[in-house]
Amino acid sequence: MDSVDFDALEGQAREKMPPASFAFCAAGADDEISAVENVAAWRALRLRPRVLNDVATIDTGVILLGDRQPHPIMIAPTGATNCSMR
């Protein structure tokens, strides 16, 4: 798979999750401005593939809060954990 269709993934989540859990996960806080802006940012994102680059010495590490981490991915705290799929 070259790219991900987030709308299709959302549809799959809607089918598999209890309605109340999906509604909680899909909704934003308060006036949902951040949720709307996040969707707009994802839709505006365009990836430019870089082909034929040497990947033998790729370093995905980052310095985070003064400590070196081997990967650039972090998990943010979540407010609730009742969004599990069946």
Cα 30 to chain centroid, rounded:
21
User: How many residues does this entry show for the chain?
Assistant: 86
For the chain, the structural domain boundaries read: 6-69
- Report pLDDT for 3: 59
The reported pLDDT for the residue numbered 6 is: 78
- Print pLDDT tens along the chain (86 aa): 445 787 888 899 999 999 999 988 888 878 888 888 988 998 888 888 878 888 888 888 999 889 999 988 877 776 666 555 55
Query: Tokens 């995905």 belong to which residue?
Result: 60
The closest of 35, 41, 44, 49 to 3, measured between CA atoms, is: 49
Spatial distance between the Cα atoms of 26 and 46, rounded to a whole number of angstroms? 23
What's the rounded Cα separation, in Å, for the pair 41 and 35? Answer: 10
The pTM of this model reads 0.44
